[in-house]
Structure 1
Amino acid sequence: MSLPATSLADRRREGAALAALVLGAIAMGASPLFVRMADVGPFASAFWRTALALPFLAIWALTEKAAAPRPVTSNRAVWLSGVLFAGDLFFWHLAILATTVANATFLATTAPLFVVAGAWFLLGERIQQRGIAGLALCLIGGAALVGHSYGFAPERLTGDFYGIVTAVFFAGYMLALRAARREVPTGTLSFISAAITTVILFVVAYAYEPRLLPQSAHGWTVLVALALISQVAGQGLLAFALGTLPAPFSSLVIFLEAVAAALFAWIILHEALAPMQWLGGILILAGIWIARPRNTAAGSLP
């Protein structure tokens, strides 16, 4: 017996959102590679990541039909998303500077815990038992993937704290995107959010970096790639997916960012992957599969 047209349309919409989320996570996973290849400091690269993305996001926004029931500028979630993403990038780079990359990455992967709590209390999105099981598997997988080289040291406590703050800011950013997508289309949201982030990161980069401008054509190419792949594609696809998929599940799929980053480093930078890291990736995939939504039609957003 054939499915009703509405059910088929909902499934196709959810499938498109899931595909966008996976591709977005992979695109975001390339960002550490670009930051490492850039010839400017981490705060400058974060600034250029959003600044160079603005023209492309503006074109995206202009192609959209006006669908918001009220002026976008009055939507607090839109503004909040830009501030929170700036905080995410700022504290992420502080963590990298103040502790080991492994510690910073490991602690940043706790973001889904804060997303689940925030989605429950702020957005009314509750996680089911299979979602809890999937979350547990993803957290264990994340620990295996990046936590194998985690090391506690009193002198790195401040940096470790920044890693946790990073997770809180990214969780807030995802929740703000989810809330904003109830009224604002993807391109418009991505452009305004990135514009707010750019202003904040310019102040940060100007204060912390000895120079802002790349020193070569290669440096500019790397930053343009960072903007197009990690910001326009990565964050844009995330915002698109959050119009349909619940925030708790979406936060689990973002674990693929860490998997993609490890694979990119293995393929391009020839960084070896330990058996525990392969196991971590498998556990993350299993967790996402278990937690996948069976019917999110009721929660779909315009």
Structure 2
Amino acid sequence: MSQPAATSADHRREAIALTALVLGAIAMGASPLFVRVADVGPFASAFWRTALALPFLAVWAATEPRPQRAFSNRAVWLSGLMFAGDLFFWHLAILATTVANATFFATTAPLFVAVGAWFLLSERVKRHGIIGLALCLLGGAALVGHSYGYAPDRLTGDFYGIVTAVFFAGYMLALRAARRDVGAGTVSFVSAAITTVILFAIAYALEPRMLPQSSYGWTVLIALALISQVAGQGLLAFALGTLPAPFSSLVIFLEAVAAALFAWILLKEALEPLQWLGGVLILAGIWIARPRSVPAGSLP
């Protein structure tokens, strides 16, 4: 293949991956709405999110070439463990501090991803990648910081928010490593299966009720599974087959923007001017940090 043709193919592949990343962020951004209206507790909803997604992810995985050898891939197992930890500590943070505080600390995840990708995956963040990340961090702070509050009795919940960020970073790094050898559908299915087993044990131990009490409750959980897990996490796994982990981790900011917009449109929750500014900064940061057809393992 000639060099111009190869470059064109790279641009096309990155454009498709970037589109998948954005759509995945929007889908994941809807998850707080579903959790809020579900008639089961947060840990039970987290369990059903992955459990109900498994049949659909299995169909996707079945369409991929064999052998995938996902069950012998340590990175796949690690991604499932890390995602379970991410959901568990995220819900603990929400229960122990304000949503704003939990979100504020959770959005520090890209910092951990950038450091981990540098040392573990040899994906270095270059200058305009750092500028873009800085803008996203400022935007994230503006998006949720207007209602951030310090209180000694919430320090434990704030700490859980930071732990959430660490687990999300580990999930991103593991998923990126797994995608070097395993297809997106297979990774999504096996990782979700591992997460489901862990979350079942957690929900069974901590929730007073596991089953929804109405058809509406089941509908909410099915929507959570299809939109936030199958579409959201599946598109993220697809994108990580092409895009570097540090850039892909900025999805957490897009997710926060999408969640704020969904709450504004559907729940009539007002957005302050500072939040609008935060959203603009995040979009600008992602645009600046976007990949530019560079060799794999390097982020511009």
TM-score above 0.5, yes or no: yes
| CA distance in structure 2 between the partners assigned to 1:3 and 1:86 by the alignment | 43
Residue in 2 that maps onto 1:279: 277
Distance (Å, rounded) in 1 between the aligned partners of 2:295 and 2:15: 11
Tell me the residue number matched to 1:31.
31
State the alpha-carbon separation in 1 of the partners of residues 67 and 287 from structure 2. 33
Give the Cα–Cα distance (whole angstroms) in 1 for the partners of residues 198 and 294 of structure 2.
35
Which residue, out of 236, 239, 246, partners 1:238?
236
Aligned to 2:170: 172
Q: Kindly indicate whether the alpha-carbon contact (under 8 Å) linking 1:67 and 1:183 is maintained by their aligned counterparts in 2.
A: no
Aligned residue number for residue 111 of structure 1: 109
Q: Does 1:183 align with 2:181?
A: yes
User: How many residue pairs were aligned?
Assistant: 297
Find the counterpart in structure 1 of residue 191 from structure 2.
Answer: 193
Partner AA of 1:20 in structure 2: A
Q: CA RMSD in A?
A: 1.2
**Secondary structure class of the residue paired with 2:10:** helix
CA contact (8 A) 1:50 1:198 kept: yes
Partners in 1 of 2:173 and 2:9 — Cα distance? 25
Would you say the 8 A contact 1:142–1:281 is kept in 2? yes
Q: Which amino acid aligns with 1:117?
A: V
Q: What residue is the counterpart of 1:10 in the other structure?
A: 10
SS state at 1:298 partner: coil
Q: Are 1:84 and 1:172, in contact at CA under 8 Å, matched by a contact in 2? A: yes
1:45 matched to 2:45? The reply is: yes
Query: 1:141 is matched with which residue?
Result: 139
Distance in 2 (CA, whole Å) between partners of 1:298 and 1:159 is 38
Amino acid at match of 2:141: A
1:296 Cα shift? 3.5
After the TM superposition, which parts of structure 1 deviate over 4 Å for at least 4 consecutive aligned residues?
none
Q: What is the match of residue 131 of structure 1? A: 129
In 1, Cα distance between equivalents of 2:34 and 2:296: 38
| Structure 1 residue 299: Cα displacement | 4.5
Given that 1:67 and 1:185 are in contact with CA atoms closer than 8 Å, whether structure 2 keeps it comes out as: no
Secondary structure in 2 aligned to 1:90? helix
Describe the superposition over 1:180-213 as per-residue Cα deviations: whole angstroms up to 9, x where unpaired: 0000000000000000000000000001100000
Q: Which residue of 1 is the match for residue 218 of structure 2?
A: 220
Gaps of 5+ in 1: none
Distance 1:95 1:40 in 2: 18
Paired with 2:67 and 2:10, the residues of 1 have a C-alpha distance of 20
Q: What TM-score, normalized to structure 2?
A: 0.97
Identify which of 253, 256, 259 aligns with 1:255: 253
What is the TM-score when the length of structure 1 is the normalising length? 0.96
1:19-58 CA distance string (max 9 Å, x none): 0000000000000000001000000000000000000000
For 1:144, the aligned partner's letter is A
The share of aligned pairs that are identical, in percent, is 82
Q: Contact conserved, 1:133 with 1:290, CA < 8 A, in 2?
A: yes
